[in-house]
Amino acid sequence: MNELIAVTKRIKLPGFAAKQIADWLYKKEIQSIEEMTNLSKKTRELLSADYEIGIRAPVSVSESSDGTKKYLFQVLENKYIETAYIPDKEHATICVSSQAGCKMGCIFCMTGKQGFQGNLTTNEILNQFRSLPEFKELTNMVYMGMGEPLDNITEVLKSLDIITSEWGYGWSPTRITVSTVGLKAGIKEFLEKSRCHLAVSLHSPFDEERGTLMPIQRTNSVEEILSIIRDYDINSQRRISFEYILFKGMNDTPRHIKELARILNRIKCRINIIRFHPIPGSQFESPDLKTTIKFKEALIAKGILTTIRTSRGVDIQAACGLLSTLEQNK
Ligand code: SF4
């Protein structure tokens, strides 16, 4: 809104014009500035000289037999990002990307293998939401696509502001989850400036083992992240969850269960177990469903609310980063 006010001041419009423009953009969902019919023709011409609405359709879509769809959007001259649409019984979730590629280099991740190609702008993040053909059906949003959202925190926070503000799309923050590899400074800023849910990728409670999976552990340890979360007054509306990809024979043992229960002591949270989606050249495997369920039940027995995320879109390159890598290599 501050940026819209600055625009209206620059072209000498009255103060209320910023709100009118926001209404056209986020409530009436127009395709062109020309459609802002309560602004004068001259004003529309002035706006059109410097700005555009910024709507760009996806360049392709892959559809899974389970209804999940993966869209590719083109950004940053010939780079591609992935956006997933995941319908469920009562929910329809969009999973957005926040960067093209990623710097974090998690060894189990195809996006990490692409390396970093650039931060997405607020427009490029929001366009995935607004230009999704299923936009009207969406009930939830997760920032769990390509990239590390808190490594692009300024644009991510702006996009959250637009989605959750009354003058914007008016969504409740409790419909949105931002996932992070665990950047200390980013977590602090996010907890202070947003009211959306936070998901932290844990994947192992042991420093050394987590460090082999996620290089970020060397500078942003689990203990440091947990202490930030413990010290923060999390209100009852807000959810903190820990993502845990199960790797067969590695992080699925009773030792891990015991240590998870110890380190998460006193944190009101849930663990979300994720089944590993294989990527080319990876030595990791997912344990069978029986082991996964046993792991979940053991955590519940320790008093930790635990869920298993259903694998979706396995027939359309479910692992994040696979589709865009294929497109880039064409
Ligand atoms: S898992 Fe997330 S943070 Fe890690 S490399 Fe992949 S996209 Fe980046």
Concatenated DSSP letters for 212-230?
HH-GGGGTS-HHHHHHHHH
Q: Whose CA is nearest to atom 4 of ligand 1?
A: 106
Mutate to test the pocket of ligand 1, among 106, 152, 274 (most ligand atoms within 8 A of CB): 106
CA distance 273 to 330: 34
Instruction: Check if the beta carbon of residue 184 is closer than 8 Å to that of residue 220.
Output: yes
Q: Whose CA is nearest to atom 7 of ligand 1?
A: 147
CA distance 214 to 180: 12
Residue 318: per-residue pLDDT:
62
CA distance 9 to 208: 54
Say yes or no to pLDDT of 94 above 80: yes
CA distance 68 to 318: 9
| Distance (Å) from CA 242 to ligand 1 centroid | 15
Q: Is any atom of ligand 1 closer than 6 Å to the C-beta of 36?
A: no
pLDDT grade, residue 58 (50/70/90)? very high
17's CB contacts (< 8 A; 6+ apart) are 8, 39, 43
Cα 124 to chain center, whole Å? 13
| Distance (Å) from CA 144 to ligand 1 centroid | 9
CA distance 203 to 224: 16
Say yes or no to pLDDT of 313 above 80: no
Say yes or no to pLDDT of 166 above 70: yes
Q: Is any atom of ligand 1 closer than 6 Å to the C-beta of 82?
A: no
Query: Mean pLDDT of all residues in the chain?
Result: 93
